A and B are shown apart, each in its own frame.
Chain A
Amino acid sequence: MRIIRIKRKFVIATFLFAASFFACSTLVEDMELPFLTPPVIVHAYLYPGMTEINLVLHQARVIGHDDSHYSDDPVRDANVVIISEYGDSLLLEYSDQRRQYNASTEHFPVTAGESYFLLITHPDFDDVKSNTTIPFGHKSFYPVFIDSIDHGYRREFFVDCYIDSISLSSENYFQFFAEVNGTVTCWGEEGANEDVFNRDLFDFSPLIDATIESRITQTGKFSLPKRTFPDTCNFFPQTIDLKLFSMDFHSYQYLESIEEFLDASDNPFVQPQTVYTNITNGYGVFGGYSLVERSFLWDELLAEP
């Protein structure tokens, strides 16, 4: 009996000991991350017709060490050179005011179809290199009026925008913007008043990888009020204005990976996303794109079968 009593006491004491530990346990612990030398981050995009090349060069902030402030430290005294495929070079100068490197393209025109090389040298880090080829602007795109629905107090218009005649197997990466511009006339107590209005047909399309399809359709819609109170206004769409950005592979991958990075952030059901880079010895992107803008008369769209 004596032995049994000791055993019971031992068991109870062990459980109390364990329970007290359990109660005092902190199940979450914050840990400091190691300090790893921050890489340099480069951002620059070239496009035909640009008058000035801008390049942002800064050092990444180290998480857990200097990420409490919300601005990146620029790298000031680097030697930043862009070289064309024909050997012409352009030296970019650092501007303290704009916190970036700039140079005029007056004697260094950026041309579609040409390749450009970036070289950044600095005594504190390895040479940073990259290159891009400026894509040609794609001109075959247009809107088609599809239908409209009367909702009583407003009318909704559906317009499909097409990117057409895409040559397959070549790099065709797009982002599409479309807006409607027009005039609005309102009659109030003070008489008629005319103004302009602007509506997004679609503010921006998803990034489009058109390497496998010869025709891309982006559906857009906008609605205009039929009656307003206390004034009575009439809306007259004038033009559909389209902008098509044709970008190189690097710009597309970079922008796409950022979108996926944002989707993955703080979501335990999404795999981590690495942000794409084409920078050797650094991160960021050195990309190229071309922009083509076209405007279509609304009345002509309505008249088309």
Chain B
Amino acid sequence: MGKKHFLIILFLLWQCLFGAHLVAEQTSHYSLSGFVKDSLSGESIPGAHVYIPDSQTGVVTNNYGFYSIMLPEGEHTVRFSFVGYREKEAVISLNSNKRLDVPMVLSIELETVEVTARQSVAKSPYMGMIELPMSQITSTSSLLGERDIMKVFQLMPGVQGGSEGTGGLFVRGGGNDQNLIILDDAIVYNANHLFGFFSLFNGDAIKDVKLVKGGFPARYGGRLSSVMDITMRDGDMQNYKGEIGLGIISSRFTAEGPLKKGQTSFLLSGRRTYLDQLVTPFLPEEEKMGYYFYDLNAKVNHKINDNQRLYVSGFFGDDSFYTRYSEPGEQNRNGLRWNNALVSLRMASAFPGGFFMNNTLLFSQYKTGFFYERINTREDQKYILDYYTGIRDYTLKTDMIFSPFPFHTVRFGGQGIYHHFSPGSFEITNEFANEQENKKASIHTFEGGAYIENEFQKGKWMYNAGLRLSMYHTSGRGYVRPEPRFMAGYNLTDNQSLKASYSHMNQYIHLLSNTSGALPTDLWLPVSGNLPAQSSNQISLGWHYGLKKHQLELTVESFYKTSDNVLTYRDGANFFFFDDQNPDADIEWEDNVTVGQSQAYGFEFLLHKRKGKVNGWLAYTWSKADVQFAEINQGESYPANFDRRHDLALVLNYEFSPRIQFSMTWVYMTGYPITIPYHTSYSFKPWDFDAHTGLNQFVQVDYFQNRNNFQTQNYHRLDISASFSKPLKYGTRIWEIGLYNAYNRMNPFSYDMATDFVTKKRVLRKNTLFPIIPSISYVRKF
């Protein structure tokens, strides 16, 4: 970004604040602030709309359900709305700063939806932001009946999945590592279980999810392509509740309730697969193998007083794939494992005058690796290899919100993250040779950010202008980079608006991965002396329309994004950093990668009905993403991995009756590009292995004309599911049945080259992983 560019943005930002200040001085203004919460459980409601019709202004509650707005002295009608809740209207007389906490009542009727839809579309400067009600996420069909947040967001425009079934996110042409996923503000480095087939997030424990893919507010930073902000539920402050779900491969439970009624609540939710337990009895005693994952969400929410809340939340998850076999005198064990641990301690405080502050202390850890153990039981000797790679973060963060002038909401804050990377560490204990070897790779870096953003909304105009200052330091290198952000909207009518946004982003850590799932070969790495920080510029334009009669939101957006210093593996790079030809050679990860540029543009269409007897969405994306690396494909640009031209998703949920619900999802995607050889021939060396010169026929080699030169088969799939609930004396029981890939389409999961045994010709072999898969689960709520 040029200096001139930066100064213009600063000037605009200053104008926004100063201009508003002049207006503020003309009359007396007071702040109206408070929390919006559920009337029964006392849970805060993030994303609720607070709208003042007279002034044509409004705000949205933050992740803690807090809002603050500056209004002129006098009487005002204030309208509170949120999907699934009955709209609430209050008339207030404002002659001093006022606090108004609003309990919202769950709605069974549908009359409020129209207002909610209209407001969310037209009355907000945000764009490229997807917010889905949890009710819609949990009712959408998915693989084996699991409630999978990541898979549902893959059905939204601008978001591509990786290989079938995996939870990777490729947003607007970006890579899987360019997504910032945060759970209660803690960074999640691996959001998947079971090689990506299941999301890390247990739908029962999640209150709110939003995905930002363009038009990034300044409060977010650190990744180029998207931010997925997930908030865990607080737990019911009034009543004890529970839920147990039994599925084909996993079971789950959730318990919540007050520790002290009206003051402290808890939430505990967990899952565990039992494939390993089911398979074990059928395996011989000397050969055992299995896979399991478990995760546990826990949260305690304490209301210190009306103005202060303390939250302690944690997530712990573990995946393990293992094999064990034994023979006389010897036992062998090996396996792969992944684990995540997140802990967050937050203090949210509301001060007089509508000032809100949240201070957060976070711990985040991700570790993956494999182990091998051989025990000679006769000699009591062991060989143990333990390889692991991971990242550990300690974060301190503060966010503040207040409304200094009418129609303006100002947010500012900062954060500091201390990263500790362990790329490719191992430990070998070899008692057979009496040797011990270990390599503990360790890199420490600091990443910081400070931001200020100003949101304005009045009449037909609205904008959010902000500046983020990102900082990064590692040995021998430091960055301080400004990141201007700007979103503006103009209301054409009461229910439609035009919007535009610009975002500049920087990313200081990289993920080296060749899959869209999670493997121990994946490596999180920091920016180093040889690898510069990634950066991107994105502009988007959009038209948003709320169809009143049909309770529909229509969003049409287009985007253009360029990224610099994106990373990829070099030709022939070995993901295990191990050279078979030269085992003693220590391959540095920096030798395995190369940096280049990427470019993506596209058009997105979303027709969304959030609530009602029939609800769901139709999403379509046309996009193109290319990458260019000097060392790959002769320096010419080529299609990015998972670049799909067309992506269509139709999600329909139908409520036959309060007890029977039906859901269907149909997706269609054009194939993604892969690299396959079309031609083969013998190569010739100038000398042979005995150094005799001449043309010596050597090995047969294959020729790829270009990288990513073959488009895989188009993908389409229909999932259907139904749930049958029945109220019982204590709680409710629900049977959920589903069919994944209902018409048994043999969609490609991977391709490889194989030789036909009959014709001796090589063929491209398509491997399908998921044919039609039925699922059934039982849920008991009490």
Contacts and interface: CB of A to CB of B under 8 A. Distances in A.
Interface of A: 7, 11, 14-15, 18-19, 21-22, 25-34, 36, 38-39, 41, 43-45, 47, 50, 54, 56, 58-65, 67-68, 70, 72, 100, 175, 177, 203-204, 206, 243, 245, 247, 251, 254-255, 257-264, 267, 269-275, 283-284, 287, 289, 291
Q: Which of A36, A60, A70, A245 has the most CB of B within 10 A?
A: A60
A28 B765 contact: yes
Contacts of B754: 30
Nearest to B743: A21
Contact of A65 (B570, B582, B693, B761): B761
B8 interface: no
A257 B698 CA distance: 13
A11 B380 CA distance: 56
B759 A41 contact: no
A68 B724 CA distance: 57
B358 to A, nearest CB: 43
Contact of B707 (A245, A259, A274): A274
Contacts of A27: 746, 767-769, 771
B574 A270 contact: yes
Interface in B729-757: 737, 739, 742, 744, 746, 753-754, 756
A43 B676 CA distance: 23
Give the 8 A-B CB pairs with smallest separation, nearest first: A260-B572, A25-B771, A273-B572, A60-B679, A43-B684, A45-B686, A18-B774, A177-B691
B698 A289 contact: no
Given A56-B695, A63-B677, A70-B700, 15 more contacts: A11-B737, A15-B774, A18-B772, A22-B773, A27-B767, A27-B771, A29-B746, A45-B686, A56-B684, A63-B680, A245-B691, A263-B580, A272-B707, A274-B632, A274-B633
B645 interface: no
A64 B574 CA distance: 28
A272 B675 contact: yes
B581 A269 contact: no
B571 interface: yes
A58 to B, nearest CB: 7
A62 B572 CA distance: 23
Nearest to A50: B693
Given A21-B772, A56-B684, A258-B698, A272 B691 contact: no
Given A21-B771, A61-B681, A283-B681, A68 B695 contact: no
Contacts of B632: 274
A264 to B, nearest CB: 5
Q: Which of A62, A70, A271, A275 has the most CB of B within 10 A?
A: A271
Nearest to A272: B675
19 contacts: A14-B739, A22-B744, A27-B746, A28-B765, A30-B764, A30-B765, A33-B678, A33-B762, A61-B679, A63-B679, A254-B683, A271-B569, A271-B572, A271-B574, A272-B704, A274-B571, A274-B632, A275-B701, A275-B702
Contact of A29 (B682, B691, B756, B766): B766
Nearest to B772: A21
A270 B764 CA distance: 19
Nearest to A46: B686
B573 interface: yes
B678 A30 contact: no
B521 interface: yes
Contacts of A177: 690-691
Interface in B570-599: 570-576, 579-582
A14 B774 contact: yes
Given A56-B695, A283-B681, A264 B572 contact: yes
A204 B715 CA distance: 49
B761 A21 contact: no
Nearest to A30: B763
A41 B681 contact: yes
Contacts of B746: 25-27, 29
B753 to A, nearest CB: 8
Contacts of A47: 686, 693
A106 B99 CA distance: 101
Contact of A61 (B580, B680, B684, B766): B680
A28 B680 contact: no
Contact of B764 (A7, A31, A259): A31
A59 B756 CA distance: 23
B764 A271 contact: no
B641 to A, nearest CB: 11
Nearest to A65: B761
B771 A272 contact: no
B431 to A, nearest CB: 26
B514 interface: yes
B282 interface: no
A15 B739 CA distance: 8
Counting contact residues on chain B (CB < 8 A from A), the size range is 35 or more
A182 B12 CA distance: 85
Nearest to B756: A30
Nearest to B759: A68
B689 interface: yes
Q: Which of A30, A61, A70 has the most CB of B within 10 A?
A: A30
A14 B772 CA distance: 11
Nearest to B687: A245
Contacts of A65: 761
B767 A28 contact: yes
Nearest to A11: B737
B779 to A, nearest CB: 16
Given A29-B766, A64-B764, A260-B572, A36 B684 contact: no
Contacts of B574: 263, 267, 269-271
A247 to B, nearest CB: 7
A43 to B, nearest CB: 4
B670 to A, nearest CB: 17
B582 A206 contact: yes
Nearest to B705: A36
B329 interface: no
Contacts of B774: 14-15, 18-19, 22
B570 A63 contact: no
A271 B514 contact: yes
Contact of A32 (B691, B693, B763): B763
B207 to A, nearest CB: 32
Given A63-B762, A258-B683, A291 B695 contact: no
A45 B691 contact: no
Contacts of A63: 677-680, 702, 753, 761-762
B760 interface: yes
B11 interface: no
A44 B765 CA distance: 35
B608 to A, nearest CB: 29
Interface string B189-219: 0000000000000000000000000000000
Contact of A258 (B569, B699, B724, B744): B699
B333 to A, nearest CB: 22
B771 A22 contact: yes
A270 B573 contact: yes
Nearest to A4: B724
A152 B172 CA distance: 68
A15 to B, nearest CB: 5
Interface in B75-92: none
A18 B739 contact: yes
A14 B685 CA distance: 62
A67 B615 CA distance: 54
Interface string B41-79: 000000000000000000000000000000000000000
Given A38-B679, A67-B680, A31 B763 contact: yes
A54 B696 CA distance: 11
Contacts of B695: 43-45, 54, 56, 100
A43 B684 CA distance: 6
Contacts of A26: 746
Contacts of B744: 21-22, 25
A22 B740 CA distance: 11
Nearest to B682: A72
A63 B687 CA distance: 28
